[in-house]
Structure formats: structure tokens, C-alpha cells
Amino acid sequence: MTVTTRFAPSPTGLLHVGNLRTALHNWLFARSQGGRFLLRIDDTDRERSREEYVDAARADLAWMGIVPDGEARQSERFDRYEARFAELVSAGRVYPAYETPEELDLRRKVLLGRGLPPVYDRAALKLSDEQRAAYEAEGRTPHWRFKLAHDAPIIWDDRVRGFQKFDPAALSDPVIRRGDGSWLYLLPSVIDDIEMGITHVVRGEDHVSNTAAQIQMFEALGATPPVFAHAALLTGSEGKLSKRLGSLGVSHFREEGIEPQALVALLARLGTSDAVEPFADPAPLIQSFSFSRFGRAPARFDEGELAALNARIVHQLPFDAVADRLPEGVDATAWEAVRPNLAKVSEAQDWWQVIEGPITKPGLSDEDRDFLAMAVQAAEAIDWSGTPWQALTGALKAQTGRKGKPLFLPLRQALTGRDHGPEMAALLPLIGRARAVARLRAAAASA
């Protein structure tokens, strides 16, 4: 059996961080098992589905390095849904119901008011042919419900949540088709999972009750249900479910300068017993992926943690991986010089400005300006073909007796206009002799 997973977004909006995490889990598990990962576009909602969201979903997955092994669209499979739907109607597992949304809402409120669970009472099954004809004469078109079998509990061994048991009598028969003939999520998804050979359904815990109903749908269609894994949902950094998470997508992370490897590294390990580590290559994440490491507690998504992880990823990126995003003139040597001080690749622009100039003149004491006047002479005299920073500081230390911060800081301030930054041993050759001498001279002369 080839392990096969799928990610099935509805193209009614952009993917958010929770969707991206689900896609990643499916991809990582499939890759860890040498299996297949499929992208299925669940575009049965013709009114709200947009092609731009399909394109965006593909682009978002590609940005994260998630490459599907195949793709399907539900809008191209309506004939399959009709055929399997007809089978279920003939078998008595699907039935028409004529209640209006207002009538159903009133019934729910009555039950809740009595302290009872708002479970559908199957009133539609008690209708006579004459009553159905009367409703249709009124202009009512039925919606369709799947009839849950009540003879045994619904059980499955969830890869994350463990043993699960549902009493089908405590569940409403789910609506699978609207009065206008359009499909809801449940039945088409089951039909697709059967025909696409999906072996594992990996999704969020908000689908647990859907799974209970879908297991009976698989069985009613003569299929063995796949293995299910329901991961705990993400929470915000404040420790509670956050609507903000629903608005965080790839465009947000890209605007914030987040590398895809950082997002992948974080989302792969959130909610597991494994430490979040800055893997620039997903291979270790694939190798270590296991549902046994997932906990049932909500997983906390913290943008601060992501930003810190991003910096650690940036510090690993080779020049070739970022060359097209760097300012003109930055080569591999310059990238390696400034990289340790970057939290985002875009910050390389700031340090290239420091190298190229102009820079802000520092405010210095008279004593430091006198020291820098000597530094001008030393900079003009040293050999710049070797290690000019060591040569410069060595000469000044011997000449002035300065060492440590009093030696290094005024030089850094004069040469870069900043108190902190990349190693001067790497930075000074990039600044070069002419600019360095000019900056030292200007700082020594400044009032």
C-alpha cells in the first residue's frame, strides 16, 4: 500500500497559517513514508470559488517548498458524485428533507431551551408521499441528509487523539446536499478519498465530528475508511484562540521578511514533543515526523518565536539562495560578512549602505578624535592586501596602549557610524582603503 495524503482547500479565500500547517503535515507524513501527496481543490461552491484563490494556493505551497505529486478538482467530478449519490438513495442511506432554515433554527432553540442536545429528529422520514407532494407544490425543494446507522457506536483509532467513540444517535443526520442541488463538503470528500486512494486523512481537530459521520459514509459506499489524524488547533501567543491567525497567510509572512524555511521549521514542530530547530533543509523534519510526537493541547503560534527562528535560518543561507534579493554589488564575500547580523535578508541593504556610504558621523570625545587622527596615519601605512583590521588595531595598540573597547569602539563608530555590527575584520576590506581613510579623517576632524 502506498501511503497517500491530500490537502483539500476550498478556493473561497486565501490560505491562512492553520491551512498551511495542515498542508505541511500531510506533505511531511507522505514524504516520511515514501508516499504521495495530492492537492485537491474543493471547488464545489460555485458562487464563492475563485480561480485567483486556486492560483494563490498553488503559489503559497510552492513558496513553502511543498510540491504535490498530483492535483484534482472537485468541479470536474460532479458526475461521480451524482452516481454515488444515486447509489446511496437507492440503498436508503440518503433521504430528502423539506424543513426551511428558519424551521430548523426554531427546533434547535426549543431543544436547547429544554436543556436537550439540538439533534435533528428525523421528522422528514415520517412524511407521507402526500405531504412531500404538498411541500413541493408550495415550491419547496428538498435538501438531502445522510441517514446515520444507530446500531453500533462509531469508533476509530486516531493517530493523534487516540481511541475515539461516538454514539451516532447523538449526532444529527448530516446534510450532504442543498436544495439547489449544490454539494456540501462531507460526501464529495469521501467519494474523492475513495477513488483517489487516500490512505491517511490528516486535518485539524475541528473535523472530528465530521469524521464520525464520514466513517459511516465510507462504509455505506463499500470502502474501508482511511486512517485519521486530527491535530490540535493553533492558538495565538496570548494563549487563546485568535481570529488574527485566520488572517496570517503567505503574503503577510513574505512582507515581514520571513523565509519559507523558517515557517516550515516552526509549523512542523508546533504541538509536538520535538524542539523547534532552524532547519534550512526539510530533510530532518521529514525524517523525524511522527504523529506519536503530537500532543492534544492547543499549539501556540508566536510570531516572535518565528522571527527569532527566521534570523537563525538567515544565518545559514548561502549566497546563491539569496543573490537575487540582494542590492547590486553585493557578492558572496559581502553576504558572508553581513549575514551574521541579519534578522531578515532585506536588512542586507542597511549594511551595504554602511559599506558603500555615506554614513552618519559619530559624536566623539576630544580624546577619541585625537586617537582617530593617529588611526588615519596608521591606515595609510598598513598593508591592505592581507588582514587590514588586525594590522590597523595592532599598530594602534602598540602606538597608544589602548586595548579592548577603547581601542575598537571609536574605530567602529568612525568607520561604520554604528556602535555594533558585523565583525570589522570582515567589514573593513569591503569598505576599502580609500573610504576607510576618508571616514577616519572626517571623524577625527568633526567638532
**Of all residues in the chain, what percent are helix, strand and coil, respectively (each to 5)?**
50, 10, 35
Angle at 25 between CA 160 and CA 53, to 5 degrees: 130
Whose CA is closest to 44, among 213, 185, 232, 246? 185
**Contact between 215 and 225 (Cβ < 8 Å):** yes
Q: Which residues pair with 301 in a beta bridge?
A: none
For the CA atoms of the chain, what is the radius of gyration? Answer: 32
Cell numbers 485566520 correspond to: 246
Element housing 96 (H / E): strand 94-97
Whose CA is closest to 66, among 263, 226, 249, 254? 263
Please give the backbone phi and psi of residue 333, each rounded to the nearest 5 degrees, phi first. Answer: -65, -45
Q: Give the distance, in angstroms, between the CA of residue 446 and the centroid of all CA atoms in the same chain.
A: 51
Angle at 408 between CA 402 and CA 412, to 5 degrees: 145
Whose CA is closest to 338, among 400, 431, 247? 431
**Contact between 301 and 234 (Cβ < 8 Å):** yes
**Contact between 443 and 372 (Cβ < 8 Å):** yes
- Which three cell numbers, joined as nine digits, stand for 334? 559581502
**Contact between 330 and 355 (Cβ < 8 Å):** no
Task: Tell whether residue 165 is among the known ligand binding residues.
Answer: no
Whose CA is closest to 252, among 17, 49, 51? 17
DSSP-derived secondary structure for 347-396: GHHHHHHHHHS--PPPP--HHHHHHHHHHHHHHHHS-TTS-HHHHHHHHH
The annotation places the binding site for ATP at 243
The annotation places the binding site at 243
